[in-house]
Each structure stands twice: as C-alpha cells, then as structure tokens.
C-alpha cells in the first residue's frame, strides 16, 4: 500500500492527505456488506480471493451439477487396495506359490505292475486249465520310491520361503500403488483448488466489468477502455476452462488407480491442501524404514529362500531307493519276490545345482545390502525434499500472500473509483493470481513430497 501511494501521490502534503483518505475509504469499503472479504485463514491452508457477488444463472446451473460421490484420501487408498486390477493380478502370484507348496509336499505315487507270460496265443489248441496252471506265468507287483535326504521336506521349505518372498514383493507393489494413488489424490486437490481460484477471479473480474459499464454510461470511461476491459474477460474464461479440464484429467487418473468399479464417473475428492507438520527426525525414519520396507523384507527373505534352495540341492544329490514286491504264479506254485535298486552316485551327485544355489545365496546377500542402502538413500532424499517444501511454504506464509491480496484490494478499489489505471489493476490481478497459484502448487508439492517420504519409509504413519 505504501508503494502505491508513494507512486501515485508524490506531490506535496495535499497528495499525502489524499493517499490517507483513499486508504481509509478502502478500509471502510472492505468492512461494508457490499464488498465482503474472504475470512482470514490460518497458515498452511489455501487462500481465497475476495468473495464475488451473487452467482449468475450460468453459475447456478453449474453448481447444480455437483458430484454424486465424494471420497477422502483414506477411502481412495482403501478402494485401491480392494479394486485395483493390477494389484489383484499380483496377488494371484501368492496363490500360485501356495499351489506350488501343495505340489512340493506331494509324495511319490506307488507303481503297480503285472504281466502274463508263456501264453499259447499262437497255439490255441493248448489252452487248458492244466496248461495255465503248470506252464503259464502270472506276476503282479507293487513298488514305491523312497526319497532319501528329506527331499519332500526340503521342497516344501523352499516353496514356502519363495511364497514369503512373493508376499513381500506384492506388499511392495501395494506400497507403490498406495503412494501413487495418494499423489494423484493430491494432484486432484490441486486441480480443484486451481479451478475454484479461476472461477473466483473470473467472477470478480465480471463484477469489475459491470462497474466499468456503469462508468461508461455515466461518461467517466471511454468506449475504447471499456472494450479493452471486456476483451480481457476472455483470458479469465480460458483459465476456468483450462482448470476444469485439468481437474477432469486428474480425477480420471485417480479413478484408474482406485479402480473404475469403486466410484461413479462423476465423483469428486474431499479435502484441502494443507500443511501437516512432520515431527520425526531423519534417523528415526531411516530406522523405521529398515524394519518396514517390503522390498527390503523381500531381499532378506530371499536369503532364507536361497538357503532353502541349497538344502534342497544337497538333498537332491542323495540317491533314492526303489523297492517293489511281486507276486507270481508259475509251475503250479505261488511265489513272491522282492526287488531293490538304487543309483550309484559315482558321476552325478548334483554338484552343479549345489554350486549354483551357493552363488544364488551370495547374490541374495549382496542384493540385501544394496536394498538397505537404497532404503537409506530414498529416506534421505525424500526427507530433504519435504524440508525444502516447508521452507517454500514458510516464505509464502511470512507475508507474500497477504501482500499480494492487499495490493489487489487497493488496486481494485482505486480503479473502480478512478484513482488507478486499467493497466495497474490488471497487473495487480495478474500478480495476485500468480501468487495464489504458486502457493497452491507449493502446498501440493509439500503434500506430494510427504507422500514420497511415506513411500520411502514404507508406512503411512510418520508420527
């Protein structure tokens, strides 16, 4: 306000008195019902422009078509967990692994064998009960493969450990999905806030156009200046349409993340862009991440799975015993026979698979170390981004927002009363719009960085 007065009234004490009178008139006008102002809001929440006059019929029609369903961030996350098809597809991997556990725990099937020998097929005349009893031979046997080295238990352990790895990997996919949905939700909030600001600025400028038309009728404004003011309305209308398209696109991406079946097409988001303090230190967040990050848990479980693979490879190096019992009828006698066989482990003792699984264990150990370092790096980077976003917000809350609003109010009042030019008013309006948009973007950036920190830590609870 001081700058405007010093530039416009710089000629003596009379001009200074005129400046004071103008500021006092602006203050009185701001307190009257005809020029209501937005209610002051606490730091960290989105600011609104001056409240416009009563909505036009077009605005009333637009307000009548409100969303049938509004969802909060928590609801969006729950919908994503329940209805996201990509996540359900990943969960099917767990079921597949559990089916493999059933396969791994199966015992070998017994072997049934039988035969008939010395039958006079080509001499039918020899067929008789005596010949069948004394000359033909009949055998029936049953055999079983006895697995040595606890192969079945080792297979089951390896399958269960692999299921545990898959569960951690699916949990990591869910972690990523939740973070993406939360960030997209913030983007939808930003688009909605920008749309509301664009509508408010457009309606406020329409009010200014109406005043200018009255001044033109009274002879206080030329026809050329009035046309310039009306032409500027196109920019405000374009801003509203662009903001509306941006919101539609943001909601469409959000609906894709939470699942199309979760909400109807005309849904909307409920919430505000706001600052949420983060009390934890980076060291606490790192320690928490090292115990909760699903991808790190998957890397650690992969070491257990590699040990199970080594045990299974060694068990497969043990040779299995085949045993069978045969009943036979030959030469009018009933006889029984036992058969046993086992491979001699001279050449193949599964050496290659044992060596491969040992290298797999070493690889898994390196991957765990890499995952731990990645977790620490992610938390550090996300934490610094949050701190940087907080610094930006503090600059806005320290006075930039209020200064931009005061400059707009004074410039608008001065223009409406003939004490400022159209160029000064449009410049103040542009500065106010730019400041408000930047502040909303700063809030959205902070909330997005906070979601990135939650992604890095592996939990949404940062308290």
Nearest-angstrom CA–CA distance, 66 and 34: 28
pLDDT at residue 20, rounded to an integer:
33
Model confidence over 379-431: pLDDT tens digits? 999 999 999 999 999 888 887 778 888 888 888 788 777 777 767 777 887 88
pLDDT at residue 419, rounded to an integer:
75
pLDDT at residue 302, rounded to an integer:
97
pLDDT at residue 210, rounded to an integer:
84
Secondary structure element (H or E) that encloses residue 421, with its range: none
Pair 145, 318: CB distance under 8 Å:
no
**What's the Rg (C-alpha) of the chain?**
40
Contacts (Cβ under 8 Å, ≥6 apart) of 369:
none
Residue 268 has φ and ψ, to the nearest 5°, of: -145, 170
Nearest-angstrom CA–CA distance, 208 and 202: 10
pLDDT at residue 216, rounded to an integer:
78
Name the fold adopted by 36-457: Outer membrane efflux proteins (OEP) (1.20.1600)
Nearest-angstrom CA–CA distance, 124 and 118: 12
385: Cα within 13 Å, side-chain hemisphere: 20
What 3-state class would DSSP assign to 184? Answer: helix
Percent of the chain with pLDDT over 90: 60
What sign has the CA pseudo-torsion 203, 433, 439, 76?
positive
How many residues belong to the chain? 463
Contacts (Cβ under 8 Å, ≥6 apart) of 366:
none
Bridge pairing between strands 321-330 and 111-117: unpaired
Nearest-angstrom CA–CA distance, 22 and 24: 5
Bridge pairing between strands 268-269 and 70-71: parallel
Q: Residue ranges of the chain with pLDDT lower than 70?
A: 1-67, 422, 463
pLDDT at residue 12, rounded to an integer:
37
């Amino acid at each position: 306000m001081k700058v405007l007065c010093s530039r416009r009234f710089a000629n003596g004490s009379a001009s200074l008195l005129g400046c004071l009178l103008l500021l006092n008139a602006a203050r009185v006008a701001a307190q009257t019902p005809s020029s209501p102002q937005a209610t002051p809001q606490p730091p960290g929440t989105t600011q609104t422009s001056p409240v416009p006059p009563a909505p036009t019929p077009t605005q009333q029609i637009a307000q009548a078509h409100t969303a049938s369903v509004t969802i909060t961030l928590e609801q969006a996350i729950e919908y994503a967990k329940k209805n996201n098809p990509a996540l359900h597809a990943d969960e099917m991997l767990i079921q597949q692994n559990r089916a493999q556990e059933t396969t791994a725990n199966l015992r070998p099937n017994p072997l049934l064998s039988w035969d008939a020998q010395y039958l006079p097929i080509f001499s039918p005349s020899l067929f008789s009960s005596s010949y069948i009893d004394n000359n033909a031979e009949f055998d029936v046997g049953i055999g079983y493969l006895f697995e040595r080295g606890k192969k079945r238990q080792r297979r089951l352990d390896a399958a269960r450990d692999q299921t545990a790895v898959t569960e951690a990997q699916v949990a990591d996919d869910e972690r990523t999905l939740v973070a993406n949905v939360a960030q997209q939700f913030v983007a939808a909030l930003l688009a909605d806030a920008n749309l509301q600001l664009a509508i408010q600025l457009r309606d406020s400028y329409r009010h200014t156009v109406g005043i200018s038309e009255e001044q033109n009728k009274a002879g206080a404004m030329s026809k050329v200046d009035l046309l310039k003011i009306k032409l500027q309305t196109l920019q405000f209308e374009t801003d509203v349409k662009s903001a509306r398209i941006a919101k539609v696109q943001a909601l469409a991406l959000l609906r894709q993340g939470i699942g199309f079946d979760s909400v109807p097409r005309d849904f909307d988001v409920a919430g505000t862009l706001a600052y949420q303090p983060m009390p934890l230190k980076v060291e606490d967040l790192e320690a928490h991440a090292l115990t909760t990050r699903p991808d790190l848990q998957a890397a650690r479980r992969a070491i257990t799975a590699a040990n199970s693979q080594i045990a299974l490879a060694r068990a497969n190096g043990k040779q299995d015993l085949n045993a069978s019992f045969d009943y036979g009828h030959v030469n009018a006698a009933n006889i029984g026979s036992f058969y046993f066989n086992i491979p001699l482990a001279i050449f193949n003792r599964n050496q290659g698979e044992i060596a491969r699984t040992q290298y797999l264990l070493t690889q898994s150990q390196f991957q765990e170390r890499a995952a731990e370092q990645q977790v620490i790096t992610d938390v550090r980077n996300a934490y610094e981004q949050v701190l940087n976003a907080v610094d930006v917000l503090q600059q806005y809350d320290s006075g930039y927002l209020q200064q931009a609003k005061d400059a707009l109010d004074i410039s608008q009042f001065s223009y409406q009363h003939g004490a400022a030019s159209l160029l000064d008013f449009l410049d103040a309006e542009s500065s106010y719009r730019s400041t408000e948009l930047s502040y909303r973007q700063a809030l959205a950036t902070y909330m997005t960085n906070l979601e990135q920190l939650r992604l890095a830590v592996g939990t949404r609870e940062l308290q």
